[in-house]
Structure formats: C-alpha cells, structure tokens
Structure 1
Amino acid sequence: MESNSSVASWRTPALTVIAPVAWGSTYYVTDAFLPSDRPLFAALLRALPVGLLLLALRPALPSGAWWWKSVVLGTLNIGAFFVLIFIAAYRLPSGMAATLTATAPIAMMAVAWLLIGERPRLASISAAVLGVSGVALLVLRAGFAVDPIGVAASLGAVVMSSFGYVLLKRWQAPVDLLTLTAWQLVAGGLLLLPVALLVEGAPPAIDAGAGFGFLYIGLIGTGLANYVWFRGLQRMPAASVSLIGLLNPVTGTILGVFLAHEVFGPTQLLGMALVLLGVLLGQTGVRRAARPLLLTILQPVLRRVGTTTTACSDRNNCRLAAQQLPVRGEWVGHESNAAEPAHPGPVRAP
C-alpha cells in the first residue's frame, strides 16, 4: 500500500515533466521547419488555433469575473509572454536568454510567497541556485554582448509568467482545466493577432514542412504542454513546478546534440547534472506561511484604514469593528477557510 502511494505521489510531477520537454523540443522544430523572420506569426499560430480547438471540445464561455481573469491570465501566460520571449530571442544569444529564463524558479517562489503564502524551504532555494548554475554551464558561451532591451524582455517574461502562474493557483476556476486552458490560449491569441498583423504584415505562405512545424508546436508544444503545466500548478507547490521547468533547456540541448550535431563536452555534462539534481531536490515541498507575505507587509495599513473608515457610534462598536479586521492566519479578499482552500496543498495523486 505504501509503495502504491509513493508511486501515485510522483505521478503528477512525472506528467508535469511533459511540459518543459515539449517546450524544449520546439527550439529544434522552430529552427528546422518554421519561417525565421515571422516570430509573432509563429506565436499567434501556437496559441489561437489550438485554443479555439480546445474551446470547441469544451464549449463554455467565461462568466462574471472570469471574463477579465481569463484576459489577465491569457496576457500574462500566453500573449505578452510570447512577445517578450521573442524579443529576447532576437536580441540575445540563445545561451544568455536561456540562462536568464532559468531564473524563473526564483521569481515564482518569491511571487508565490507574496501572493499565496507558499514559503520555500532552503532545499527549494538551493535547488533553484543549482538549476541556474547548471543551465549557465549547459548553454552559456563566452564572447557575447549584453543587450539591455533583450535582458529586460527576458526578465520581464520571467516575472510576468510567474505572476500569471501563481494567480492561476490562487483563482479557483469554476470550470475544468481543459476549458481554463482554452480560455487562456484564446485570450492570448487574440492579443497577439493585431500585434502580429501590425508588425509583420500579412501571414506568410506555409509549405508542408512549415505546416508540420506549426501543427507540432501548436498541439504538442502549446496545447498539451500548457495543459499538463497548469495541471501541475493546481496540484503541486509553485516552487516544485517551477524547478521542473528547468528541464526545458536540458531537452533543447539533448536534441541539439543528437539532431543538429551541436558540441557537448564535460562542461555541458556537469551543467546537465546540476540541473537534474536541482529538479529532484526541489520536489521536497514548501512551508505554508500563515498568510501571504503581501498581507503581512500591508497589515498596518489595512488596520488603520479599517479603523478610521468604520462608522462608530460608540467605543464598543469601534472595538467590534477592529476585531473583525484580518488577523494572523486569515486571508483578505479570498474565500474563507471553510470553503475550498485556495492552495491545493502538497503533491497528491491525480
């Protein structure tokens, strides 16, 4: 029984691995099959068609607050994220862009602590440092020039997606995950549509090779990858999921070695070992803070605003109003503890 439970507890991380592996494979597919001068059009075709396909399979539209929440998530996780990633890819050497992107676990841990109270353990922080170091050894090369715009775009994409992923954990969607994924892809794709047309003009001609490439990065590199990634975010701590994402450059490197005959030596082997060690070390979980760090920082302001704006007819009413302000362990602006918890808890079987 204990053995079965152990296997089940690793099922969600194992499925989540599909996402960075699929993303890592898109580097080779993009370079080998897609037009090299139409990155925004490629991003558009990654998001919108597969989003519409998923929406056809799950024909449900957002309602109420989920209209704007879907737009926010689609912008942070898909639309604006893709734009910044392509800016970074065009202005930075691939090794430097990958190394900057590898700081995503650190950013996501900070945002998760800030917004949903997931305080990372020392093991998770150490794993992130190992991962960034490993990616740097794996892909970084000497003799590159630093482009400030490219660096800003790369780090902006990291921060933006970190907020998007953590908000996805905090906001409890009233629909199944497939529908939620469709909403984000459609929202992000619709955001990309006018940008791609304005910057790159009419869509290019697509031959058989490009058609295969777009089909692959749409269905596998975006649809399937985002579904299992969002599934992992719902079921696992943000720190653990973010560290699994470090397998992205590892996959890209392996495919580059075997399919494009890229150089692979002892330095790259050491880097890959550090990344894998960081991913495994990062699955040890997080400590749950009493409440999000942001509320701890804003607590004095919240109390002062609450006590000064509450209409008090006498001293007893003022005392009662003050007692109703948030205390340690309570969340402001979120469901009560009696309802479904905002954080799904430790890794569990799907």
Structure 2
Amino acid sequence: MTRTTDILLTAIAPAIWGSTYFVTTEFLPEGYPITLAVLRALPAGLLLLAVTRCLPPRAWIGRVLLLGGLNFAVFWTLLFVAAYHLPGGVAATVTSVQALMVIGMARGWLGTPVRAKAVAAAIAGIFGVGLLLLGPGAAFDPVGFAAALAAAAAMAAGTVLSRKWQPPVPALTFTAWQLSAGGLILLPLSLMVEPPLPALDLVNIGGLVWLGLVGAAMTYWIWFRGVARIEPGAISMLGMMSPVTAVCLGWIWLGQSLSALQLLGAAIVLGSVWLGQRASRPRPLPRPAVRTRQRLVP
C-alpha cells in the first residue's frame, strides 16, 4: 500500500473513536467508567487472542503490560477523571496537546527530527479543537487539567513506544496483547472503586458491542498497524479527527447547532491534519551522482 492509503485507512480509527462519547452517554449506564472500560478492552482483547492464537513470549510480557497500561488503563482512567472535573470541550482541547508531545518523545526515543511545519500543524490543530469545542461554559479545574494533561502524555508515550517496540508478529496480534493487558490492569481497579454493574438491557449490550468490537478491536488494530507504518508526528495528528466526528454526531443525531466559530475550528483541524501529514513525510534520499566516462581526445 502507498503512504496515502495507509494514512486514510488509519484515519478511520480516530474518526470512529469520536463516537465513544455519544455511545457512552446515550446507550450505557452512568457512573461506571472503569467497569465499562474493562468491558470494552478485555473481551475485545481475549477475542483477538482466540483468533490469533498467539500469546506474548516471556521477554515481551513487561513491554506489553507497559503499553497496555499506557494506551488503555492509564489513558482511559485519566480521561474519565478529566471528564468528571472539566467540561468535555476543555478536556478534549487539553488532551489534543498529545500531538506536540509525540513530536518531542519521538525525537528523544526514536531520533525523529523535529520539523517546524509539524510543530506548527500541531499548534494549529490544538487551536482548531479549541474553537470547535470550547464554549461559554468552559471552566478551569486543576485536578481535571492535570488528569487531561497526564492522559495526553500516556497516550503519546504509548504511541511512540508502540512504534519503537515492534514485535515480530502481525498488528492484529500486537493489538490483542495490548487490549488484554489493559483490560486485566483495569479489572481489579474497577472491582475496588466502583459498585457492581446493574442488569444490562439490549440497548446497553448494543453499545458495549459497538465499543468493544468496532471501537476497540477493529480500530486499534487499524491504529497499531498505522503506528508501525506512518511517522509518529503524522499519526498523532490523525487523533484530532476524533473531536470533529464527535461534533458531527451531536449535530446529526442530537440536533445540536454548529456556530460559525465551530465550523472554522473544524476547517482548521482538518487543514492541520493535512499539513501534519505533509510536514512529517519522509524526505526522499538524494540520487547518487552519475559519473560519465570522459573521452580522451588525442
């Protein structure tokens, strides 16, 4: 596949993640964020393990636990903490700094050069997300701000380390390992801090199936496949597609209105994503000089 095809395919994942807030609020019971995260990650991971029939070797268990913890357990838990203390738009705007964090971490851990256009694209994307999501009810809470910032750092570190540590297995297997690890880490936490989940109806089950099979198993397989193929700075910008999808779903399904500033913000986000892909594109190697044989004229 070409790089453009890989980018378009990978962009499907964050676009679908934009439905998470809508599905959670409209189809799932309130007050069980960690339990619902377990039900999203662990069944999806175990299902993929059953399909791939491949467990991580002993030498990889520590790395898998760390990656599953960063990408799922820590990220999802802190994201819910941020959502409880901040309006959704503020939390999403703060976590969008993940793109800048990835650029810095990729420089330190992968030796990826920092390019001015990539930094400019990330800053423009953060500004666009702010226009898209921030409203008059925006408020600052130090606990929520710290949680959102830490969530962004966890996801950024998980993305860069997933690129650095590429096991000799297909992306589907790598996804199964990480989802299972994240779910197992979250399981005891959910049992300790949350009450038992009430009986689920068909609507609740449908929401969990969507979040598990589509929002976790399929999308993270696509995402980790992209992480292995696309430059870290470019793939981190694709994450900004998520708030655009969330706003579009609110407009289509919930009848929410869109202001001129929100439309401008969406345009800036899409433009920054495009610029981020071009800025992070590998530069072609210079062609070797062709030596011509000189003729000796007597």
Counterpart residue number, 2:173: 179
Could you tell me the TM-score, scaled by structure 1's length?
0.79
Q: Distance in 1 between matches of 2:53 and 2:195?
A: 31
Per-residue Cα deviation, 1:132-175 (whole angstroms, up to 9, x for no partner)? 01000000012333111111111001111111111111112021
Q: 2:89, 2:138 within 8 Å by CA — same for their partners in 1?
A: no
Q: Distance in 2 between matches of 1:191 and 1:78?
A: 9
Q: Distance in 1 between matches of 2:151 and 2:145?
A: 10
Gaps of 5+ in 2: 283-298
Q: Given residue 66 of structure 2, which amino acid in structure 1 is its aligned partner?
A: V
1:93 matched to 2:87? yes
Equivalences for residues 4-23 of structure 1 within 5 A = 8-23=2-17
Among 203, 216, 221, the alignment partner of 2:215 is 221
Per-residue Cα deviation, 1:268-320 (whole angstroms, up to 9, x for no partner)? 010000000000000124488xxxxxxxxxxxxxxxxxxxxxxxxxxxxxxxx
1:185 deviates by: 0.5
Counterpart residue number, 2:231: 237
Q: Distance in 2 between matches of 1:11 and 1:171?
A: 23
Equivalences for residues 55-134 of structure 1 within 5 A = 55-134=49-128
SS in 2 for 1:146: coil
* CA RMSD between the two structures: 1.5
Q: Distance in 1 between matches of 2:239 and 2:182?
A: 21
Per-residue Cα deviation, 1:22-53 (whole angstroms, up to 9, x for no partner)? 10011111111001111111111110000000
Q: Given residue 236 of structure 2, which amino acid in structure 1 is its aligned partner?
A: S
Q: Distance in 2 between matches of 1:80 and 1:143?
A: 27
Counterpart residue number, 2:160: 166
Counterpart residue number, 1:273: 267
Among 164, 186, 193, the alignment partner of 1:192 is 186
SS in 2 for 1:179: helix
Q: Given residue 34 of structure 1, which amino acid in structure 2 is its aligned partner?
A: L
Counterpart residue number, 1:257: 251
Equivalences for residues 297-312 of structure 1 within 5 A = none
Q: Distance in 2 between matches of 1:64 and 1:50?
A: 22
1:223 deviates by: 1.1
Per-residue Cα deviation, 1:197-248 (whole angstroms, up to 9, x for no partner)? 1111223211000000000011111111111111111001000000011000
Could you tell me the TM-score, scaled by structure 2's length?
0.92
Moved over 6 A (4+): none
Counterpart residue number, 1:212: 206
Identity fraction in percent:
44
Rg (Cα) greater in structure: 1
Q: Distance in 2 between matches of 1:241 and 1:35?
A: 32
